[in-house]
Structure formats: structure tokens, C-alpha cells
Structure 1
Amino acid sequence: MKKTYKKIIALFVVGVFLGSCQDDLDQTPIDPDSFTEQNVFASPDEAKGALAKLYASLALTGQEGPSGQADISGIDEGTSQFSRMLFSLNELTTDNAVVGWGDPGLPNLHEMNWDANNDFTTAMYYRLAQEVSFCNSFIENAQSLADDAEVGYYIAEARFLRAFAYYNLIDLYGNVPLVTVVSTELPEQSRRSETFDFVESELLEIQDLLKDSQSNEYGRVDRVAAWALLSKLYLNAKVWTDQDKYTDAVTYANKVLGSSYSINTNDTNGNGTAYDELFLADNDTNGAQNEFIFALNFDGNQSRTYGGTTFLVHAAVGGTMEASDFGVNGGWSGLRTTSALVEKFDASATDFDSDGHPVQWADMRAMFHADGQNYDINTIANTFTDGYAVTKFKNVDAQGNAGSDAGGEFVDSDLPIIRLADIYLVYAEAVLRGGSGGDINTAASYINELRQRAYGSTAGNISAADLTLNFVLDERARELFWEGQRRTDLVRYGLFTSNSYVWPFKGGVKNGTAVDSYRDLFPLPANIISINSNLTQNTGY
């Protein structure tokens, strides 16, 4: 799919979705004289190019590489990329990350005082709306080719991507319009539970319409992705619908765990762990790809963006860090983490600085740069040295060679959105929450498989008696930090806004404080509300 990205063609029957401004969602074909909707769907080969646009809409930002002809207006194009905004909304709002930049709306995320005009909450809504619009158009137009077996798979994949977009919409925004056809009518607002039911039914219907486990080309989803997303959907059902579906979460996690996907154990670079190779420039070939159930593909030459892993690598480099060690031409001196995340690794700390702060860990998932960095954050803005830096993502391969972009600007590393380790943890949590069909000893064995990879030995292993809900939450932080999941986890545990758990600068206060519980959801964009009288703003905004 990396190679397909550079041949993307736009779908340009894009109706008004969620009452959005037409200018924000309209797409323009790369060459109006070359492409029309009719010839986009003239053959299965052409339809595959249109399918690529659906995947690329989550990875890229427009139609001219890293900038130019942006798909979404009103925000910096690189900033508007899906996974970069997912990081902003699900990591910067938590204990996992801070950023020193002062872009309008950005400081409000960690301070947890955003409003309905926030650029980031608004742009994410548009990005997901665009994905739904593209998918609706593709599904409708590809029906003319549905007799072709491959096109049948394409349609199922489009339905998965639409379900994934709605999964994020109900997570982030709650009650949103449910639109499944191309339309210019102002849509009605659906209850969160109704959209949940739609996502569930779509995934259940397409599970047997998608290709078998790992039989699709890399970068495209198969039926295991449907099972994995179902398990994650069911894990959050109590929060999203007030219905306990932990048994269903166990059921579909078990399906994933019985598939051909496997935890990456290829320690190609010989550093004692295979964990770091999940986030390197060759993670599409070094063995990590066998753990990736759904990933966004990036290539430093063929699919360039200032979001994605280009953002995660560059923005995390600053201070005394050498950019060349990360395979890039310089750091953006922005992203760091808080002491609250570092503390999650305290049990494995092996060395400390003169102030007693940890600087080395036996758990090699503790990928922090402490040299020249302050453990505690006194100032977030423009002070890169406050807070440990994070070294998780790199644009070098397992042998240390830099990525394909000779200029060192754009990154090759793919970004896992759902990987098998996540489903191990879903299984464990669902079992602990009372889901039947699972076993606490089996859950502990899955956790230990992750911890053995992290420690390079059995030194970090736990017993079933050690396995509690709080342990699983902390283990999710250790395993999945900066992968766009933390806010969702904290909301599920009732900790995101409450005073039961605070972190540095939560609520804009240095030592952290609770905020109003309505901030468990983001606001619908103010301009959407003003356009569509069918919509009701989320409480508190």
C-alpha cells in the first residue's frame, strides 16, 4: 500500500457529512481532465486506487505530498493528519505527554480547558467526517463492480474503515450523526448507543467478508482486524452504552489470539529486546509486521507527511539528543513526558541520578532520554529540558541505517494502530472485569509474554495473584504509551477527569487537579452546531 499511496486518486462525490461546511470536506481531483467518478470505478484495478485513498486519508493529509491541496482547510496541513491529532487528543491530554509549542489551541489540551472552537478537536472531527464521506462514496460506487471477488474484499475493507472512523467518533465526541450514504441533507444526531450498535453490526457482518488472517497485502486489513476492533469496542461498552459486554470482549479477543498474528520476538539488533523494533524504519519487514493487525504505512519518499511517525520522531528530539541517532536531520524540540509515566517503570529502575530519579531500567520499554532533562516539569512552554524525552520512535532500521529519505526529513516507520499486544491486554482486562470464556492464569501468561520481551528474561514475570485492574492499566501505559490510547483507557477507568488520579499540570495546575467530568468527551465543533440545528452540543460546552 505504500507504493499505492503515491498513485492516490480522489473520490469526489463527497456529500455534506455531519452538517459540515462544504468547503471543509469537498475534494478536488488531482487532474480534473484525467479522472472522473465514472472511470475511477471503471474496473477493479481503478477501484483499488480509490480504495487506497480511504487508507491514505488516515495516513496522509492532501494530494501533493506533505503539503499542498490539503484535504481539510482551517488548520496547518501537517497538524491535521489523523494519527497526529489522535496523539494530540489521546496523549497530550493525559499523563503520557506534553508539548512545548504554543500553537493556538494546543496548550489547552494538556491543561484540559479546551472549548468548542479548539482547532484540534475541530480538525479531528473533520478528519473522521471526511473518512466516513470517502467510505460512503466508495461503498456506493463500488457496487457496480461487486461481482468481482476482489472488489468484494475492497467493499468490506471500506466498511471496516468507516466503522473505525465511527469507533473514534463515539469515543471522542459521543452523540454524532450516523450517515451511511452520500447525501447533502443535514443529518440528524444519533445517540452514542445507536452508533455503537452500527459499528458492532458492521464488524460482525464483514468479519467473514474480509480476507483470512494475514492473507491480504501488508497495509490492508483482514478479518482479524474486525475481531480486534470488536474486542476493543466491547471493552468500552460500559462507558459508551452503559451495557456490560466484557464476555463479548473476551470472545473476540480469543479469536484474535487464535489467529496467525504473533508477538514480535525478533531481536535483530541484539540489544536484548525486540520491543524497540516495533517502532523502527523497517518495521514492515523486521518481524514487527506480524504483530500489526492494523497499521498506517509511511515511506520517506513515497508517502510524505508532517504527521504520522515523521511527527513522532522529529517532535521528540531536542536538548542533548543527537538527531542523527534517530535517522532525521533535526529535532523539533516539542514532545516530552511527565514523571507520572516514568513512575510506571519504577519497579524496574536500576540506576538513579544524584537526586534519586531513575535514569536506567530493566524494563526496556522505558525508552526515555534523561541526560540534560529534568525529571519534573516546571514549565511546559518552550522548555524542552523539563520532563524526560521519549526515544520510542526512530527512523533507523534494526541495523542502525537511516530511512529512505536522503534529506532526513520524512520517516519510513509505520505506525501500529492495533497490534496484538493491545489485544493481550484487552483480554486480561475483560477477564478481570468479569467476562466469561477467559482465564486469569491465561491472562497472566499473556502479560508475561509481553514482559519477557520487555526485560529480555523472566525477571519481570508476575503471578495470576498480581494481576489486578490497576496493574493492567499501568501495563497498558508501559506497553502502549504514545500509541494514541491513553485517554480512552483513563476514561474507561474513571480517572481521566477525576481527582482519583492526577498528573503534572492536569487541569493547568503544576501538581495536577481534577476537572469537570464533562471533559470525558470533546465538544462538537462550534461551527457545526451553528450550521446544523439538528445537533445538540455536548454538556458543558
Structure 2
Amino acid sequence: MKYFHIIICFILGLSISSCNEILTEDPVSLATSDSYYVTERGIEDGLKASYTTLRDFYGQQNGFFLTVTGTDIFTNGFGGIANNPDINNYSSNFLGTNSTVTNVWNALYVGVNQCNTVVSKIPDVTGITEERRKEVEAEARFLRALYYFHLVQQWGDVHFTLEETKGVETEANKTPASTIYDNGILPDLEFAVENLPPSAAEQGRAFKGAAEAILARVHLTLGNWAAAEALASSVIQNYDFELVTPYADLWDINNDSNKEFIWSVQFTEDPLLNGPGNSGHLYFIFDYTFNPAMVRDVENGRPFQRFLPTNYLFSLYDRDIDARWNGSFKTVWYANISAEINGHQVNPGDTAIHIVMEPVPDEVKMAAPYWIIDYKGNWIGDVNAYQEIGTNQRRNYPSLLKFLDPLRPSTNETAGRRDFPVVRLAEMYLIASEAAWRQGDAGTAADYMNVLRSRAAIPGKEAEMLVDANDINLDFILEERARELVGEKHRWYDLKRTGTLLERVRQYNLDASPNIKEMHLVRPIPQTQIDRASNPDEFVQNPGY
């Protein structure tokens, strides 16, 4: 599954010039989908091509901007303000001309059409067993459901088709999201659950457990609580997934095929095969190079500083008992060159920066042999004090370490090799807990939650991490999802589906609070798509944009 890029250059026909060296060695490049996809090799290659567009959303800046910022837990860092402030801020400049929404829209529809092509061709394939025929269709339909899920969550009513697009089509429909769920997403995932094998044939392939997990997420989104709990419980009980302990080991770069990750988008260290690479390592880290004892290096990352945690996110962790704080955030940096800090000689390996989550007197900070960056609870966007979180124009803050990639070949390399976990076992406990609570069973909801919280406890603090039925409510569920899944492309969807996006952004994201409106529950349809439609009276922009 890590070798799709070679195939894609032929299959999609979108970037022929960039793949000429590969294509000229392979006479299959002269084939057409009508002739090639009806062969066993052709349909397998077409199926592999259906996965590739996942790499344009997962692990990429555009996907992060549309799922992480503009929420209660992340706002714009220095790089976010400089490069793409309008999504987080819901400003009047957030329009259909925005390149992020355009790129994501286009990528998702490329994925949909590739899946449609495979599904339409599979009945005519020769030389394939009936069992494999169903599996191929099930994989393609699983992926199509995921692509459409992102489309309807982001844009609401969108163009919907289950047929392969051939040639130029200019007429677009605007199908209600409910219809897309009923006629596309749900039946596709149900077919996948019925027909996919119980385990993946190779790393990154869709299989039954992954389909059940995504279907549980969809049912939670739709408010089908019993179905969501049943499916999440099935994934917990009927497969060999395990919660990784300690929590920090989840994000060890050498452990990205662990038993908690149910299904991941695959990347690789081979630049020829890695496509855009997983660039998540760039966006959540602050610019440590302002410190005199530090220069940019591979271990600490290339700091694009796009996403800045909000004060609210900081408030969610009880750092004395919850290991997810230190398991998710980097707060200490070690010198990699010799320098002087506050009159003290600092050498490689010495502490250069220490972020502490409480106030420290300035005289103490100025006397320390390293930078102490403290936290006083001031809104991180307005801090001008000496070495406080949010200072240096939003450059100074605890850095999310989940996506760091110290195995990149060079300091400035953007194409990381870390796989991106689309769904992991922890989410199944969160889904089961919320679904049980929604059905009035707070005791069972607490039981599910306590499995996660026990895993997250600092050793010896397990009892203090436990909750009971009286603790479970929507706010607690959203808090726990933030603590567990921070940065993993869930938050905007979580706030939207729970009806809390407007309220929580207004309360906790002061950059966005003056601007966010009801219209922002969906994104603007790309202007390029509006302009291409030959039926503009029917295919109209989303209201307010």
C-alpha cells in the first residue's frame, strides 16, 4: 500500500508530465480505463489509485486547516496569521476563492470519481474470483463513503453521483446531505462491513474492522446512538486491537503500526513513492530557533507555527495525574549549539527552553540558565510580556508532538514518512461512551471512559483519573475527546455534530468569536466549481458566502 504513487501517475492521468520517467518504462500507460480496468491487474491498480487521494487530505496543511483551527482548542499561530488566517477567523475574506477549500474539494472529488470508476468496472472484470470481486468493490465503496463523509461534513449539500465521470461534464447537482448519507455513505459502509475480510491483506488496506469503526463514527454523527454503540463495541471486543501504554508510545515514530491504530493512511521514507508525504510535523511547533542555543535541526522540526493551542485547551489537562499532557506536548528543548543565556554558558545537551504551565516571576526567568516560558492565563493572542506563552508574535507555545518526524533525511524536508492514523481504538471507547450516555446509560458511559482514563493516568494516579456516572455530560465528553484526540482532525467535526461550534468558538477562540455565524457551519463552495457549472441557477453558493 506504500507503492501507489507509481500506479497513480498512469491511472489518474492528472500529472503525466511529473511521471514520465516511470511511464515511459511501462507500456500499460498506453491503455485506457475501459480496456485496462477489466483485467485483474488493471482493477487492482485502479483500486490502489482510489487510496492515493487520502494523502491529499490526511497529513496535509489543507486538511488540518479545515478540521483543527476555527475551533475551541486551536487558533492561528504566527504562521497561521501570515499564511491562511481567514479559516480560523471566519473573516469576510473566507470565500469560495480560498485555495484551501478549493484544493480539498478537488482532491475529494478525484477520490470519489476514482472509486466510482472501480465500482462501475468491477462487474466486467475477467480472471478474478467472485470473493475478490466483492472485496474490491467493498474497498472502493469504503473509500468512497469516507470521501463523501468529508464532503458533506465540510460543505453540506454537494454534488452527488455514484457513476464514473467520463469526459467533460458541466452540469452539477446539489443533493441534500441526508440523501447522500442514505443513498451513498451508509449503504457503502454497510456493504464494506459485509464484504471486507476480517483483517487487512497488507498494511493500509481497508478491512472489516476499519469499516465498522468508520460506520460507528458516521452513526454517531447522525445521532443513531444504538448503532454507534454497537459498532464501536464490536470493534473493541471482536478484534485484536489494544490501547498502547504508556500513551506517549503511541507517537513514537518507530511505533506507527501499533495495535491501537485501526487504520492509517500510509506514507513511506522512499521519496519516489511518498507523494506529498505527511507534513503534519511542520504545523504545530513553535520557532525554537529564536533561542540563542538552538538552531533548526531534524529532531526538533521545521517550525511553520500554523496552529496555536488556546487557553481553553491548556485548561483541560490535570497535569499532575494525566499523562496525555506530556504524551501530547513538547515543553522542553535541549541546546544543540553553545551559547550564553542570561549570562550562563549553555552547551549542547543542556536545557535551552522550558515551558511551564504556571506563573514564574520575571526575576526568576531572567536568572535561569535557560529560557523559562511561563503561563499566566492571559489570552495567548494578546501576550506581550517577557517570555510568556503567546509572546514573540504567537511563536512561543507548547508544541504538539504527535506528528514530529525525526527520521526525515534533512532539516528542511517537508515530506514526512509517518503514517497518519485515521481511526484508532481510543476513538471507539469515546464513541461507545457518548452513545451510551445519549441513550440514558451514564454508568456504562463512565465505564467506557474509565478504560481510556486509566490508560492515560500517570502511574500511581489511576484512582484519581476515574469518573462516575454523575461526571458524564456533553461538556465532559467534548473535554475528553479534546484531551485524547487533540490535533487528529476531529475537533471541527465534533463541535459541528454536537451543535456547539458557535457557542464554543465564541467562548474560547477570541480570534474567531466576533465573526463566526450560522453560515459557517458549512464552508464556501469553491468559486472555480461555481464557475464551471453550466446550471448556475441550480448549483448555487452556500448561503452567506
TM range (shorter): 0.7 to 0.9
Task: State the match for 1:18 in structure 2.
Answer: none
- Alignment: residue pair count: 469
Name the residue aligned to 2:446.
444
SS in 1 for 2:66: helix
Deviations 1:73-116 (A, max 9, x none): xxxxxxx7774322111101113332322688710112122122
For 1:51 and 1:362, how far apart are their aligned partners in 2?
37
Residue of structure 1 in register with 2:153 after alignment: 171
What's 1:11 paired with? 11
1:100 counterpart = 2:60: no
How far 1:483 sits from its partner (Å)? 0.4
Instruction: State how far apart, in whole Å, the 2-side matches of 1:49 and 1:515 are.
Output: 44
Decide whether the 8 Å contact of 1:105 with 1:119 is kept in 2. no
Q: Which residue of 1 aligns with 2:268?
A: 299
Structure 2 residue aligned with 1:269: none
Cα distance in 2 for partners of 1:96, 1:430 equals 23
Moved more, 143-152 or 335-344: 143-152
**2:193 aligned partner:** 207
SS at match of 2:507: coil
8 Å contact kept, 2:283–2:304:
yes
Deviations 1:144-174 (A, max 9, x none): 3274333432221111111100011110000
1:326 positional shift: 6.2
Q: Does 1:145 align with 2:135?
A: no
Is the CA contact (8 Å cut-off) linking 2:220 and 2:435 kept in structure 1? yes
Matched, 1:219 2:208: no
Structure 1 191/323 Cα, relative in aligned 2: closer, same or farther at 3 Å?
Answer: farther
SS of corresponding position for 1:2: coil
In 1, Cα distance between equivalents of 2:70 and 2:86: 9
One-letter amino acid of the structure 2 residue matched with residue 58 of structure 1: L
AA aligned to 2:146 is: F
Deviations 1:121-149 (A, max 9, x none): 22211111111111112222333327433
Of residues 314, 339, 352, the one that matches 2:311 is 339
Match for 1:348: what amino acid?
Answer: R
* 1:479 has 2:484 as partner: yes
2:244 corresponding residue in structure 1: 265
More helix per residue = 2
Change (3 A) 1:419 1:220: same
Going from structure 1 to structure 2, the CA distance change for 1:387 and 1:168 (only over 3 Å counts) comes to: same
1:6 CA displacement = 4.9
Partner-residue secondary structure (3-state), 2:407: coil
CA spacing shift, 1:314–1:112, aligned 2, 3 Å:
closer
Cα-to-partner distance string for 1:188-207 (whole Å, 9 max, x where unaligned): 21111100112111111221
What residue in structure 2 maps to residue 496 of structure 1?
Answer: 501
8 Å contact 1:365–1:478 — kept in the other structure? no
Once residues 326 and 8 of structure 1 are traced to their aligned partners in structure 2, the CA distance between those partners, rounded to angstroms, is 30
Aligned-residue RMSD, C-alpha = 3.1
Which TM-score applies when normalising by structure 1? Answer: 0.78
Q: Does 1:460 align with 2:465?
A: yes
Which residue does 2:544 correspond to in 1? 540
For residues 64-103 of structure 1, the aligned pairs below 5 Å read 83-97=60-74, 98-101=76-79
Identity of matched residues, % = 23
Work out the CA distance in 2 between the residues paired with 1:449 and 1:161.
Answer: 30
Contact 1:58/1:296 (8 A) holds in 2: yes
Establish whether residue 388 from structure 1 lines up as the match of residue 390 from structure 2. Answer: no
Q: 1:332 to 1:258 in 2, by over 3 A?
A: same
Query: What is the one-letter code of the residue matched to 2:270?
Result: N
Write the letter of the residue equivalent to 1:251: A
CA distance in 1, matches of 2:112, 2:244: 36
In structure 2, the CA distance between the partners of 1:526 and 1:134, relative to structure 1 (3 Å rule), is same
- Gapped regions of structure 2 (runs ≥ 5): 332-353, 356-370, 384-389
Relative distance call for 1:279 and 1:102 in structure 2 (3 A) is closer
Offset, 1:407: 6.3
The question of whether the paired residues in 2 share the 8 Å contact of 1:58 and 1:81 is answered with yes
CA distance change for structure 1 residues 323 and 427 in 2, over 3 Å: closer, same or farther?
A: farther
Change beyond 3 A, Cα 1:499–1:262 = closer
Tell me, what secondary structure is at the counterpart of 2:248?
A: helix
Three-state SS of the structure 2 residue aligned to 1:91 is: coil
TM-score (norm 2): 0.77
Distance 2:507 2:186 in 1: 33
1:45–1:324: structure 2 CA closer, same or farther, 3 Å change rule?
farther
Change (3 A) 1:283 1:145: farther
SS at match of 2:421: strand
Name which one, 1 or 2, has greater alpha-carbon Rg. 2
Paired residues of 1:177 and 1:188 also in contact (CA < 8 A): yes
Point out the more displaced range, 164-173 or 247-256: 247-256
Instruction: Confirm or deny: 8 A CA contact 1:280 1:413 kept in the other structure.
Output: no
TM-fit CA distance, 1:298: 1.4
Equivalents in 2 of 1:495, 1:171: separation in Å? 15
Q: Which residue of 1 aligns with 2:255?
A: 283
Alignment check: 8 A CA contact 1:338 1:388 kept: no
8 Å CA contact retained: 2:286, 2:395? no
Q: Which of 399, 406, 409 is the matching residue for 1:405?
A: 409
Question: 1:161 maps to which residue?
Answer: 143
Retained in 1: the 8 A contact 2:119–2:137? yes
Counterpart of 1:228 in structure 2 is 213
Residue in structure 1 matched with residue 365 of structure 2 by the alignment: none
Query: Does the CA contact (< 8 Å) of 2:47 and 2:136 recur in 1?
Result: yes
- Does 376-385 or 189-198 show the bigger shift? 376-385
